[in-house]
Structure 1
Amino acid sequence: MLPITHTMTTSKKLFVLNKPKGYLVTRSDDLGRKTVYDLLPDWAFNEGWMPIGRLDLDSKGLLLFTTNGHISNALTTPKKCTKVYEIWVRGHVMDEHIAEALKGVQTSQGLLKALEVKKIGMGGAKTKLSVVIDEGKNRHIRRLFGALKDPKFGTPLKVLELNRISIGDFKLDIDIGTWRFLSEEEEKMLLDKH
């Protein structure tokens, strides 16, 4: 049962979790590790709410849940929905790296690329980037930057932190480890383009 506190403008089809690092995006884990369902009320698991897409164990940020397969498909079909990430990369990210990431890099997972990459900060030997993609192959951003080399040391760039901050026009606005239902307006905004 859904909590009674929700008003009529609350979506019945979508909620968002701000996933912390260290939680698996799965219904259960053979090794007994923490899953995103440990952060959610029991009804989310019992009523079959499923994550839309994935964030790996070391990633954090916006994760949507639904019980509706059509919504899930609409938001995970490649080229249909942009996702924005803020990442910290070990190494100095040069303009050449950004150009390569935009053009596409051949990896063992096939061609990986980003729609937009912007440098938004530096800290020591780390670079903070904003990255926009419209598909989500397994560990897409980590593999993309891992295929690029630091010019000074000749080592692969490494994504140290990855935080998804938006999907489509929906921006993450809740504290880490918390969840909330979307409003009907937010649901409409997300799904109208599909």
Structure 2
Amino acid sequence: MTRTLLFNKPFNVLSQFTDSGTSGSDRETLSNYIDVPGVYPAGRLDRDSEGLMVLTSDGRLQNRIASPKFKTEKTYLAQIEGDITDEALDALQTGIDLKDGRTRPAKARRIAEPNWLWPRDPPVRYRKSVPDGWIELRITEGKNRQVRRMTAAVGFPTLRLIRYAIGDWSLDGLPSGRWRDL
């Protein structure tokens, strides 16, 4: 029987079931939250990013989500340093030149800070003299640390990054650190 889970990965959790880091490492992994045999992550989410992960026992589904050739849209909410400009949003929507190549055009827009967000532990640093804002970014590829590199390239570094949706699946009703079966 195929099994597919949606998981809201907390900040500072590795998106794998074991920690292959240094011996004696006590970093949290998926196994701290999910005790379901035979499911594997369909793609990765950086340790310092939060939000939606899909885990499945279906290899084809895993590939369809993770492979850039299928162009599965992923929606991110990014808290950025500064008030993003129209020029920066235009650049994100056109594509950004990164060291590993040009990104596909993204859908990017300013948003208000989501009122449903859970507190992050540790909290994002706050600087009274530097404003911050939020953007929604929808991409169809998944280069390493892509969203963070894109926002930095247009002059607005990411402070907090949350993957809100993968295709039609979203975080709606799924608290941080929890999972549910589809």
- Against the structure 1 CA distance between its residues 148 and 134, is the aligned structure 2 distance closer, same or farther, given a 3 Å change threshold? same
Q: Give the match's secondary structure for 1:54.
A: coil
Alignment length (residue pairs) = 161
Output the amino acid matched with 2:106. L
Give the drift of 1:113. 4.2
The alignment's TM-score, normalised by the length of structure 2, stands at: 0.82
Q: Which residue in the other structure is 2:164 paired with?
A: 165
Quick one: which of 56, 67, 77 aligns to 2:57? 67
Runs of 5+ consecutive residues of structure 1 not aligned to the other structure: 1-10, 150-156, 183-194
Give the drift of 1:48. 3.3
Measure the CA separation in 2 of the matches of 1:88 and 1:75: 25
Bigger Rg over Cα: 1
Give the drift of 1:114. 4.3
Quick one: which of 15, 40, 44 aligns to 1:54? 44
Equivalent residues in 2 for 1:39-188 (5 A)?
A: 39-41=33-35, 44=36, 47-78=37-68, 79-121=70-112, 125-149=131-155, 157-173=156-172, 174-182=174-182
Measure the CA separation in 2 of the matches of 1:121 and 1:91: 14
Give the drift of 1:100. 0.6
Moved beyond 4 Å, runs of 4+: none
The alignment's TM-score, normalised by the length of structure 1, stands at: 0.77
Contact 1:114 1:131 in 2 (8 A): no
- Which of the pair is proportionally richer in helix? 1
Measure the CA separation in 2 of the matches of 1:36 and 1:109: 29
Runs of 5+ consecutive residues of structure 2 not aligned to the other structure: 114-127
Q: Give the match's secondary structure for 1:144.
A: helix
Give the drift of 1:102. 1.1
Give the drift of 1:109. 2.2
CA RMSD for the aligned pairs?
1.9
- Which of the pair is proportionally richer in strand? 1
Greater relative contact order structure (CA < 8 Å, 6+ sep): 2
Measure the CA separation in 1 of the matches of 2:83 and 2:105: 18
Give the drift of 1:110. 1.3
Contact 1:83 1:132 in 2 (8 A): yes
Give the drift of 1:13. 2.4
Deviations 1:15-40 (A, max 9, x none): 01111101011232223211122111
